[in-house]
A and B are shown apart, each in its own frame.
Chain A
């Protein structure tokens, strides 16, 4: 059983999960996850390695569908609609739920083409429309000043931190409702981490952001709500231990295991 402190109610939630279980082939990775992700807030998933937090994040845009032999049970909704209902097009879902990965992964194309990729997929062909989208997205990702005069340069020629912001600009260009970030700061330098965190704070008022992080200070610093996942016994499924307002979870955790983790006793 998970414990909750002032967790968001379903009616103000962008994403909800109920009795959610997940398997990689025969391996039962997650069991009985129940939580509501507050709309237009930042939610952090924390927990030791292998606790299923990234797996759970990847369920939210059905990225796990790409891995052979995975399956899930339970209900997960986006704005009230069942993500896993029969016939739902994962491609359309992913256009509304964008994702940033641990390793910055720009396409081996120009900066401009990276950002224009999503709009082009959605059928935007007008050069001036694309120019506007590219400029606006790069501005929102706080990258415009650094790259405005070299848009034709290969995205892979940028520094790691710039690449990550390019990936954010690429996602923003399709205006997703939800942004999933899977340890977005663990492969970039500290100055860039600061920039990405500032960026998240700027985006949050109009976008639901969910971030998986190994860095508890980061979770405490930037998130409104925090969820703590744990796999207690190796080989057994992991689950959600505690979920609630970030300050409450970090200052007065209810569950002993949460307290042990945030005070650094394991993990």
Chain B
């Protein structure tokens, strides 16, 4: 007999009692839940794959019947068999770039104010207001842009006010909630100790913000900007209502243009044949752009962890 046994005699002398086995019903319940949640998650993957496959299939004649040279040309005149999307893509790029130029400082500035400067009382007012901006339907933004901003642009530019400039102003406000919310997350993830270190080194509040906090949060802020960009590129309704929908390279920021999304929305209901095919081709282009943006965000967050 070894010493362990002599020290604990009661354990051995107690009547033997079997440990309970996992019951059949517990086992089944656990398994069922596992499959249920897997199904939920899998649905997202299936949907993405199906939508992409469907769009690709519908767009296939772009390669065979329209030809890439025609598709990637400047001239959009579907009734005459010319399906060049470049002026539309340029419109999308122009509208998005301008929205970012205005919206990024606004969104990042709001986030910096809310996390670094505002008192709890002020924050309690502004924070919900920013969240509400995200909840406003895009048709309302479009309406607002058309009725309030457009006449204002018309007055300074002399035209009708439909065009990139109006779209910039509308989209800039629309992407603020995305950029602000994500930038706030990025700023909050910066440890308080780093800010304290900055102040203790004799930095002013402004120096702590732009020399310590913003550089530390730069990856998160880039994420925020990329996702804001995705929102701006994909926005359809509000843009459709204010850009003027002329598929041309514009003479000025206040003259009508068109974008990929707004053109799809306008034409989809009546188009047929190759025209419809071209719309699906534009869809594929949009799909690739937003997938690349997601890819960029993923790559950045990997880099940050690594």
Contact = CB atoms under 8 A, between A and B. Distances in A.
7 contacts: A92-B202, A94-B199, A105-B193, A106-B197, A107-B198, A107-B216, A108-B216
A98 B215 contact: no
B203 interface: yes
Interface in A157-190: 167, 170-171, 174
Contacts of A121: 201-203, 207, 211
A124 interface: no
B194 interface: yes
Contacts of A171: 200-201
Contact of A101 (B197, B202, B212): B197
Interface string B179-218: 0000000000001011011111111100100011001100
A108 B211 contact: no
B119 interface: yes
Contact of A105 (B197, B204, B207, B215): B197
Interface string A63-84: 1001010000000000000000
A94 B208 CA distance: 13
Contacts of B211: 117, 121
Nearest to A98: B200
B216 A105 contact: no
A63, A91, A92, A122: residue with the most chain B Cβ atoms closer than 10 Å: A91
Helix, strand, loop or mixed for chain B's interface?
Answer: helix
Contact of A95 (B191, B194, B197, B202): B202
A105 B194 contact: yes
A171 B200 CA distance: 9
Contacts of A117: 201, 211
A91 B197 contact: no
B119, B191, B199, B215: residue with the most chain A Cβ atoms closer than 10 Å: B199
Interface string A35-66: 00000000000000000000000000101001
A118 interface: yes
Contacts of A94: 199-202
Given A107-B212, A108-B215, A121-B207, A174 B196 contact: no
A99 interface: yes
Contact of B202 (A68, A105, A107, A118): A118
Contacts of B196: 63, 66, 101, 105
Contacts of B198: 107
A103 interface: yes
A167 B204 contact: no
A257 interface: no
Interface string B91-124: 0000000000000000000000000000110000
B201 A118 contact: yes
Q: Which 3 A-B pairs have the closest CB atoms?
A: A95-B202, A105-B193, A99-B200
A58 to B, nearest CB: 9
Given A68-B119, A107-B216, A121-B207, A91 B193 contact: no
A174 B203 CA distance: 12
Nearest to B120: A68
A109 interface: yes
Contacts of B120: 68
Given A66-B196, A68-B120, A91-B203, 14 more contacts: A66-B199, A94-B199, A99-B200, A101-B200, A105-B194, A105-B196, A105-B197, A106-B197, A107-B197, A107-B216, A117-B201, A121-B201, A170-B201, A174-B202
Interface string A212-251: 0000000000000000000000000000000000000000
A118 B208 CA distance: 12
A108 B216 CA distance: 6
A24 to B, nearest CB: 15
B196, B202, B207: residue with the most chain A Cβ atoms closer than 10 Å: B202
B204 A91 contact: yes
A105, A167, A170, A171: residue with the most chain B Cβ atoms closer than 10 Å: A105
Contacts of B216: 107-108
B30 to A, nearest CB: 41
Contacts of B203: 91, 121
Contacts of B201: 94-95, 98, 117-118, 121, 170-171, 174
A68, A92, A108: residue with the most chain B Cβ atoms closer than 10 Å: A108
A130 to B, nearest CB: 15
A63 B198 CA distance: 11
A63 to B, nearest CB: 6
Contacts of A106: 197
Interface string B267-305: 000000000000000000000000000000000000000
Nearest to B191: A105
Contacts of A167: 197
Contacts of B199: 63, 66, 94
